[in-house]
Amino acid sequence: MSHLFYGFRERVKRMGSVGISLVEAFDEEALLALAEAESEGFALPFLMGDPDKIERAIESSGARLQNPVIVEAQGPLESARAGTRLVREGTCRILMKGKIGTGSLMKAVLDREEGLRTGRILSHVACLEVPGYDRFIFVTDGGVVLRPDLPKKAEIVSNAIDVARLMGVETPRVAVLAPSEVPNPDSEASVHAVELARMSREGRFPGAFVEGPMALDAAVSPEAASIKGMTGQVPGRADVLVAPDVVSGNSIAKSMQYFARAVMGGVIVGAAAPVVVISRADTAQVKLNSIAMARALI
């Protein structure tokens, strides 16, 4: 059913294992996903947190971890710090959220002294395999930046281009979404789209096409793009959809999951290492795909 992600994970398996630092590791769902990634051969689990709680969670979850390294840390703050340190020092290459608030985890990631800052913006990139589509569709940012201004949106676009390329899209075609194709000075989404398209023409996003404004139909449907008389590299065949803000990005990706039965993976990029933040409502497959994405991005 999920051919694209299946093929992708086969490729990730051949990349070999890297350490993944799971913060507050007594999260049964995260442990199960990590055990699966370990058994598929692309993850070595490092578990931060209270060892007793971790042992109990492993037992009650039934996660079959082969070689887990348990790193004692008491409380979310210490656990997040320990996980971040393992990544900074190179023992681990991926940071993953366990039973800790996303905010607390990101605070450790963004710490100016001991975090994983790179100077780039952090943003979420979702990758969706939609039944009937023969390519991945990426949606950004549905997870981190509430309402990006233009410079932030340009960085969000760059992050997404990187992810799409590392997942096999040679020349990512990026659609900046807006309510319509006609530039509208009253719509921030539209204004940003005009500017991002201009930046693209001026070489800001090498090896990619960034165009807009366009509505979602013109971005992904060749018929709609044709009826609307659109030209360019992106209309009708966008790989990446850039949402104007986090709630629209989140809603578009979830609409694809819940209405179109799309299979998803997602990762936060822009820090010194990929960060995997999975939601309680995500399926096991989403969690595994997300870890695989993080592995491919290293």
202 half-sphere exposure, CB direction, 13 A CA radius: 8
Between helix 284-296 and helix 28-39 the angle, nearest 10°, is: 60
| DSSP label at residue 281 | T
146 is a site residue for a copy of itself (CB under 8 A): yes
Which C-beta is closer to a copy of itself: that of 47 or that of 253? 253
Question: Quick one: which segment of 35-43, 49-57, 104-112, 171-179 binds a copy of itself (CB under 8 A)?
Answer: 171-179
Which C-beta is closer to a copy of itself: that of 39 or that of 251? 251
Distances from the Cα of 206 to the Cα of 158, 159, 161, 170, 171, angstroms: 9, 13, 10, 12, 9
281 is a site residue for a copy of itself (CB under 8 A): yes
Number of chain residues interacting with a copy of itself (CB under 8 A): 48
Residue pair 273/116 in contact by the 8 Å Cβ criterion: yes
Which C-beta is closer to a copy of itself: that of 91 or that of 104? 104
Q: Which 3 state secondary structure label does DSSP give 198?
A: helix
* Burial class, 231, CB count within 10 angstroms (exposed 0-12 / middle 13-18 / buried 19+): exposed
223 is a site residue for a copy of itself (CB under 8 A): yes
Strands, E, within 84-238: which ranges? 94-97, 123-129, 137-140, 173-177, 209-214
130 is a site residue for a copy of itself (CB under 8 A): yes
| Residue of the chain from 87, 177, 273, 288 that contacts a copy of itself (CB under 8 A) | 177
Which C-beta is closer to a copy of itself: that of 221 or that of 285? 221
Q: Which residues bind a copy of itself (CB under 8 A)?
A: 130, 132-133, 137, 142-143, 146-147, 177-179, 184, 186-189, 215-218, 220-221, 223-224, 227-228, 241, 243-248, 250-252, 254-262, 279-281
